[in-house]
């Protein structure tokens, strides 16, 4: 490797030309194939049993996510203008290519089941917009008297009505999203306000904001890191070459992603910030060594200085890059596609940054010349050395303090970890005061909820089980239990609602008959009458043809895992009761899939953390040919990971698709400090038996470089505080903290353990 790198020094223009040529090819791939994934279902492993069953259930009952259009009139919706707006909007949605006409539900399309002298009839609430006071009052009376409509399609305060347009996942596009928003806005007046919400709108907003956020973040992080690098390296040429390394590594990562037709997920938008912050580390260590060499050897030629830099630094640079990549590759244990791809392409970018650092930086120095080392820097160097020597001396004098503080921090972190929770909410990725969150909150306040949980009751092929009164009464009892006991559950809907409504209207609308009939024959007769009078396809949403499967839909006012788990906990208390009737319970729908999604995140997080730690320990042991060194080197990153999760617990920051990356980032980046420090410690220990002197020289050389590295990485990740997504801001703050704790752990507890272990002083002791 060393010989190959030296050969490249003789052909610097070829190195630069080849890099630019391949980069141009990758850029063309990005331009032609890059796309943002907007379907949140595509974030999930489709072969997972829970997702496979949910997809099947969605086909059985036509379960699709809906776009919710809420029409608000604070003066009340029962007036000609509002009802006409509802009618026009409903018809416009029905005519859209992406929406099936039958999948649009509103007061204009809803069935009103009523009793007649001849039995039962199913009519529309209105076809022509009522104009007279009498007809408006009649409509109002009909709506308020219908439990299947009042509170579901019209709010209890009568100021809001909704249109629900269900769509299939594969039809939602950015253009369709913008068309929906534009259509809604076109119907707004002084009195009528239109609100648009629902899972597809969340997806569309995320797809819109994600690339915009990346476009904003990348220039800021480039500017910040360029400025910090220049302050540290004091050289325009050195700064530009180091930034060229990260520019090409980002370009190659996204170019490869496009070439392999891998879409850009929401979490992928952080890859540029990640690679820019991480990629400069190799350049910092190379230039730090080069500056120290030139100070000691001011007459060294360009080729001599570069040769010494490569000879001394290629191994630690390669080792740190490999260990960093391992931290990200460990994310392959996750079953969540965005996290898996994030790990792969960030690891690729890290390795390419290593290649560019070892090839492009030396080539650039050969072409543009060595950085200038001013004489005045020498005095500063003495001050830096004095500071480093003093720090090393104090750390070794107070070994017990480092050990005690480390133990206390570990205990506190473990306590904090007990409070850690997982958040499945996609809405929590947005600002609390953003339009999409406020709209969702508004609809939740007026209706049952924008998040759905579908419970599938399966009688295993036995026909007419869900015509039995005892089964329907048990289902109705369960629905009432959730609605009454959980504030987060706003509504529920199933065959029981149809049955109760029909029983009531067939008994002169008396409230005492708003119950499940006691006889199966009566239930069967009601259902037959409905099929003859109304639209029998409506029943397909709640029960299958043989009445052997039932779909119960629960509406929740929150999409986070705590809300979903609280609902499922109550549902499962009825499992034994349904089992007595030979009925099994399963779940479906986007709400449940989001919950499983978060479980997979946690599972993958634990696996990747354990795997990356094991691999890092093995690699360090092989690199330094000593298992004890492997364990010592892993101490700072292990403590860092514990601190991160402890702080998340204390500050109530949940694990989600973004913050789940924390431990891998902490290990991937933090291990760099340990590798460089141990390598320099080993070199210094081979020259003297004086432990204090070894520690001082190591602190002056590697301690200086990793402090620069930590400052640059912290500055880079702090840029995420400007992101529009709160989880990104949380990640930026936590990773910045990680880098600081990794640095402190490396120059304190790890130095103490290296010294106490005598691992490099055994010969001198003999």
Spatial contact of 637 and 615, defined as CB atoms under 8 Å apart: no
Query: Is residue 2 situated within a structural domain?
Result: no
The 10 Å Cβ neighbour count of residue 580 is: 9
Spatial contact of 295 and 378, defined as CB atoms under 8 Å apart: yes
User: What pLDDT is stored for residue 619 in this prediction?
Assistant: 85
Per-residue CA distances from 698 to 272, 377, 635, 650 (Å): 32, 20, 18, 36
Query: Is residue 541 situated within a structural domain?
Result: yes
Residue 420: strand, helix, or coil: coil
Reported as a single tens digit per residue, the pLDDT across 495-516 is 999 999 999 999 988 889 999 9
Spatial contact of 494 and 148, defined as CB atoms under 8 Å apart: no
Reported as a single tens digit per residue, the pLDDT across 191-233 is 999 999 888 888 777 777 777 787 788 788 888 888 888 888 8
User: What pLDDT is stored for residue 89 in this prediction?
Assistant: 95
pLDDT at 2 over 80: no
Both 171 and 238 in one domain: the answer is no
Domain boundary among 174, 203, 232: 203
pLDDT at 340 over 60: yes
pLDDT at 40 over 80: no
User: What pLDDT is stored for residue 376 in this prediction?
Assistant: 42
CA pair distance 357, 351, nearest whole angstrom:
10
Query: Is residue 52 situated within a structural domain?
Result: no
Both 216 and 192 in one domain: the answer is no
User: What pLDDT is stored for residue 764 in this prediction?
Assistant: 44
Q: Which residues contact 451 (CB under 8 A, 6 or more apart)?
A: 555, 556, 557, 558, 559, 563, 564, 590, 591
Reported as a single tens digit per residue, the pLDDT across 729-765 is 888 888 889 889 999 999 899 999 988 888 876 554 4
Domain boundary among 153, 169, 203: 203
Query: Is residue 464 situated within a structural domain?
Result: yes
Both 406 and 312 in one domain: the answer is yes
pLDDT at 45 over 60: yes
Reported as a single tens digit per residue, the pLDDT across 71-114 is 999 999 999 999 999 999 999 999 998 888 888 999 999 989 88
Confidence band of 39 (pLDDT split at 50, 70, 90): low
Query: Is residue 306 situated within a structural domain?
Result: yes
Both 198 and 211 in one domain: the answer is no
Both 536 and 603 in one domain: the answer is no
DSSP 1-38: -HHHHHHHTT-HHHHHHHHHHHHHHHHHHHHHH--B--
pLDDT at 660 over 60: yes
Query: Is residue 315 situated within a structural domain?
Result: yes
Reported as a single tens digit per residue, the pLDDT across 305-325 is 888 888 888 888 888 888 888
Mean pLDDT of 427-445: 87
Query: Is residue 63 situated within a structural domain?
Result: no
Both 159 and 235 in one domain: the answer is no
CA pair distance 291, 370, nearest whole angstrom:
10
pLDDT at 408 over 70: yes
Instruction: Count how many residues are written for the chain.
Output: 766
Reported as a single tens digit per residue, the pLDDT across 544-595 is 999 999 999 999 998 888 889 999 999 999 999 999 999 999 999 888 887 8
Domain boundary among 173, 203, 233: 203
Confidence band of 379 (pLDDT split at 50, 70, 90): very low
Both 742 and 620 in one domain: the answer is yes
* Nearest Cα to Cα of residue 488 among 572, 573, 568: 568
Strand-pair partners of 154: 150, 161
Both 410 and 267 in one domain: the answer is yes
CA pair distance 728, 743, nearest whole angstrom:
22
Both 121 and 215 in one domain: the answer is no
Q: Residue 735 belongs to a domain with what CATH number?
A: 1.20.1640.10
pLDDT at 41 over 70: no
CA pair distance 595, 598, nearest whole angstrom:
5
pLDDT at 5 over 70: no
Token code pair at residue 712: 């640059």
What does pLDDT average to over the chain? 86
Both 169 and 311 in one domain: the answer is no
Mean pLDDT of 265-279: 78
227 is in which domain, residue-wise? 8-40+204-418+595-765
The 10 Å Cβ neighbour count of residue 38 is: 24
Query: Is residue 58 situated within a structural domain?
Result: no
Mean pLDDT of 287-295: 83
Both 703 and 746 in one domain: the answer is yes
Reported as a single tens digit per residue, the pLDDT across 239-258 is 899 999 989 999 999 999 99
Both 166 and 233 in one domain: the answer is no
Q: What is the total count of domains within the chain?
A: 3
């Amino acid at each position: 490797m060393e010989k190959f790198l030296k050969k490249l020094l003789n052909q610097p223009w070829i190195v630069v030309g080849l890099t630019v040529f391949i980069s141009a090819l990758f850029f063309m791939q990005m331009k032609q194939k890059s796309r943002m994934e907007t379907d949140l279902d595509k974030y999930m492993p489709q072969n997972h049993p829970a997702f496979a069953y949910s997809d099947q259930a969605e086909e059985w009952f036509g379960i699709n996510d809906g776009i919710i259009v809420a029409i608000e009139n604070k003066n009340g919706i029962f007036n000609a203008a509002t009802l006409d707006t509802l009618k026009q909007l409903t018809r416009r949605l029905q005519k859209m290519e992406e929406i099936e006409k039958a999948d649009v539900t509103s007061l204009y399309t809803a069935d009103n089941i009523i009793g007649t002298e001849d039995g039962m009839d199913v009519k529309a609430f209105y076809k022509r917009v009522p104009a007279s006071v009498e007809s408006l009052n009649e409509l109002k009376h009909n709506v308020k008297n219908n439990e299947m409509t009042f509170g579901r399609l019209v709010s209890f305060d009568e100021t809001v009505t909704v249109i629900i347009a269900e769509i299939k996942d594969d039809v939602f596009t950015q253009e369709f999203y913008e068309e929906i928003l534009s259509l809604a806005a076109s119907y707004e007046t002084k009195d009528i306000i239109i609100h648009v919400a629902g899972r597809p709108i969340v997806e569309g907003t995320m797809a819109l904001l994600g690339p915009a956020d990346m476009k904003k973040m990348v220039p800021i992080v480039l500017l910040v890191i360029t400025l910090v690098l220049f302050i540290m390296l004091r050289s325009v040429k050195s700064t530009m070459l180091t930034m060229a390394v990260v520019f090409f590594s980002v370009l190659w990562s996204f170019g490869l992603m496009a070439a392999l037709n891998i879409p850009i997920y929401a979490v992928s938008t952080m890859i540029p910030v990640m690679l820019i912050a991480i990629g400069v580390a190799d350049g910092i260590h190379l230039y730090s060594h080069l500056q120290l060499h030139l100070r000691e050897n001011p007459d060294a030629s360009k080729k001599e200085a570069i040769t010494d830099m490569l000879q001394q630094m290629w191994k630690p640079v390669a080792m740190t890059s490999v260990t960093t990549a391992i931290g990200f590759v460990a994310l392959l244990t996750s079953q969540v596609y965005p996290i898996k791809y994030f790990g792969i392409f960030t690891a690729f970018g890290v390795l390419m940054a290593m290649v560019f650092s070892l090839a492009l930086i030396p080539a650039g120095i050969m072409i543009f010349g060595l950085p200038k080392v001013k004489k005045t820097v020498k005095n500063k160097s003495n001050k830096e050395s004095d500071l480093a020597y003093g720090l090393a001396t104090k750390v070794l004098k107070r070994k017990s303090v480092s050990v005690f503080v480390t133990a206390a921090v570990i205990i506190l972190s473990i306590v904090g970890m007990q409070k850690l929770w997982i958040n499945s909410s996609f809405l929590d990725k947005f600002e609390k005061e953003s339009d999409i969150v406020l709209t969702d909150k508004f609809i939740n306040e007026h209706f049952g909820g924008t998040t759905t949980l579908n419970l599938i009751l399966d009688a295993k092929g036995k026909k007419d089980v869900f015509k039995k009164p005892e089964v329907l009464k048990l289902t109705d009892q369960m629905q009432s239990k959730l609605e009454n006991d959980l504030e987060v559950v706003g509504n529920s809907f199933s065959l029981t609602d149809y049955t109760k409504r029909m029983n009531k209207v067939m008994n002169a609308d008396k409230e005492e008959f708003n119950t499940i009939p006691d006889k199966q024959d009566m239930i069967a007769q009601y259902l037959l009458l409905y099929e003859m009078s109304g639209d029998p396809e409506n029943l397909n949403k709640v029960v299958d043809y043989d009445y052997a499967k039932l779909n119960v839909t629960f509406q929740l006012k929150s999409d986070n895992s705590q809300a979903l788990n609280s609902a499922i906990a109550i549902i499962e208390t009825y499992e034994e009761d349904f089992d007595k009737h030979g009925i099994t319970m399963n779940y479906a729908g986007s709400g449940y899939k989001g919950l499983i999604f978060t479980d997979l995140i946690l599972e993958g997080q634990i696996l990747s953390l354990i795997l990356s730690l094991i691999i890092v320990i093995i690699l360090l042991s092989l690199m330094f040919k000593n298992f004890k060194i492997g364990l010592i080197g892993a101490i700072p990153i292990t403590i860092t990971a514990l601190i991160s999760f402890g702080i998340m617990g204390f500050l109530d920051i949940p694990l989600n698709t973004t913050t789940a990356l924390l431990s891998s980032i902490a290990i991937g980046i933090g291990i760099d400090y340990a590798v460089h420090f141990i390598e320099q410690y080993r070199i210094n220990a081979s020259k003297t038996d004086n432990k204090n002197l070894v520690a001082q020289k190591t602190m002056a050389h590697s301690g200086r470089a990793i402090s620069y590295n930590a400052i640059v990485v912290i500055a880079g990740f702090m840029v995420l505080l400007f992101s529009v997504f709160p989880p990104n801001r949380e990640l930026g703050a936590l990773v910045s903290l990680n880098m600081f704790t990794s640095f402190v752990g490396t120059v304190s507890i790890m130095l103490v353990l290296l010294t106490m272990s005598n691992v490099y002083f055994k010969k001198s002791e003999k």
